[in-house]
Amino acid sequence: MIIQERLIKTFLELVSIDSPSGEEKNIVSVLTAKLHALDAKVQTDAFGNIIAKVYGKGKPFLLNAHVDTVEPGRNIRPLVQDTIIKTDGTTILGGDPKAGIALILEALTILKEKRETHVPIEIVFTLGEEAGLEGAKHLDYTLLSATEGIVFDGEMGIENIDISAPGYNRVDIDIIGKSAHAGVEPEKGLSAIMIAAALLLRLPQGRIDKETTCNIGLISGGSARNAVPENAFLQGELRSQNVQKLNSLSDKFNSEILYIQKAYAEAKITGKITREFDPYTLTSTTNPLIQQIITVLAKRGITPKFLASGGGTDANIFHTHNILAVVMGTGVYEMHTKREFVKIDELTKAAQFCTDFIRSLSSI
């Protein structure tokens, strides 16, 4: 059985270590030491991702979580309150991703303590996931043998299984107008911010359909209160679980950029839409890995819930490298907000599932 007190202690230790994207050095050092203590062979690739291997017999299996958090994620002060762990309201909690890391470490600890025979386990803790799945993109896949794995990076309880996830296009728009003194000769200027506003009014935003969303999340521009702004920048994203819809939405953005460029011929508008990762869909009724997950959950009386995720994870990239990966919940709620919290019983169930699942593989 999982030792819940130890699991909570590990989780609290991990969230107390600052690890925003690009600043993962300290958490990598701590996790490397913890994995060594579990008799894992640990190395980092050129990008800094952790690849650890625990000896076993049979077909290797992959366990994954990322190590970086979103902002505001510094000086996190977690509070244990009855059945949940939450923030003090000034930062995110870091349950995304550290609940997943903690439960993997707890499962490995149980297996070591029990001296159980199991399949070889390959643990991958990636960097830069929140910055666009950068760790998974740059992972040295020659260091891996596993062709199947579980990504512990899902929201809500362990019964929640993501069987599809969207593809993602990054949007960057650069607008150059003409500067002028706003009080002396504004008529000589061409406001890049006004052009950006005209463009925004034409771009689709929010929920397009059940598979597709788009968002302009960052706007910047100008140089001074009293200057007609010469520059404006828009940054956003397009997501869809349907590649054709993703491509169509990209075409729509490009056509609207062209329309505004013609309307403001003296300006220069540059739009760049970049595919960051592709969507994927798994079939829950026929996929062998999902069927094995269902069997293990059933032995604990847990009924799976199959979800279509709106977010990307390392699984999106693993699939392009012929690693079948399934994303599962870790007991985390309200990810990427200061309201984020973890349900202790659900984190414990997720750790127990991880242990049970590894055990189940040795009997296949």
Q: What share of the chain is helix, strand, coil (3-state, %, to 5)?
A: 35, 30, 35
Residue 205, SS3? coil
To the nearest whole percent, how much of the chain has pLDDT over 70?
Answer: 99
Across the chain, what does the average pLDDT equal? 96
Q: Is 242 left (phi over 0), alpha (psi -120 to 50) or beta?
A: beta
- What are the tens digits of pLDDT across the range 262-298? 999 999 999 999 999 999 999 988 899 999 999 999 9
Domain 4-165+279-361 = CATH 3.40.50.261 = no
To the nearest whole percent, how much of the chain has pLDDT over 90?
Answer: 96
In terms of DSSP H, where are the helices of 281-343? 288-298, 314-320
**Is 0.85 surpassed by the pTM of this model?**
yes
* Tokens coding 331: 């007991």
| Position 242, amino acid | N
The whole-number average pLDDT for the span 158-186 is 96
Do residues 61 and 361 touch, judged by C-beta distance below 8 A? yes
The whole-number average pLDDT for the span 50-55 is 98
Does the structure show a pLDDT above 70 at 31? Answer: yes
Does the structure show a pLDDT above 90 at 74? Answer: yes
Question: What DSSP line would sit under 94-153, residue for residue?
Answer: -HHHHHHHHHHHHHHHHHHHHT-----EEEEEES-STTTSHHHHH--GGG---SEEEEEE
Does the structure show a pLDDT above 90 at 72? Answer: yes
User: What pLDDT sits at residue 362?
Assistant: 75
- What are the tens digits of pLDDT across the range 102-130? 999 999 999 999 998 999 999 999 999 99
Do residues 96 and 102 touch, judged by C-beta distance below 8 A? no
Please list the residues that pair with 223 across neighbouring strands: none
* CA 165/CA 310 separation, integer angstroms: 6
* CA 209/CA 288 separation, integer angstroms: 30
**Does the active-site annotation cover 237?**
no
Residue 291, SS3? helix
Confidence of residue 324 (pLDDT cuts 50, 70, 90): very high
Of residues 24, 96, 129, 162, which has the active-site annotation? 129
**Does the active-site annotation cover 129?**
yes
User: What pLDDT sits at residue 363?
Assistant: 62
Indicate the domain borders of the chain.
4-165+279-361, 168-277
User: What pLDDT sits at residue 364?
Assistant: 57
Q: Identify which of 162, 67, 155 has the alpha carbon closest to the alpha carbon of residue 343.
A: 155
Of residues 24, 45, 68, 314, which has the active-site annotation? 68
Q: What is 168-277's CATH number?
A: 3.30.70.360
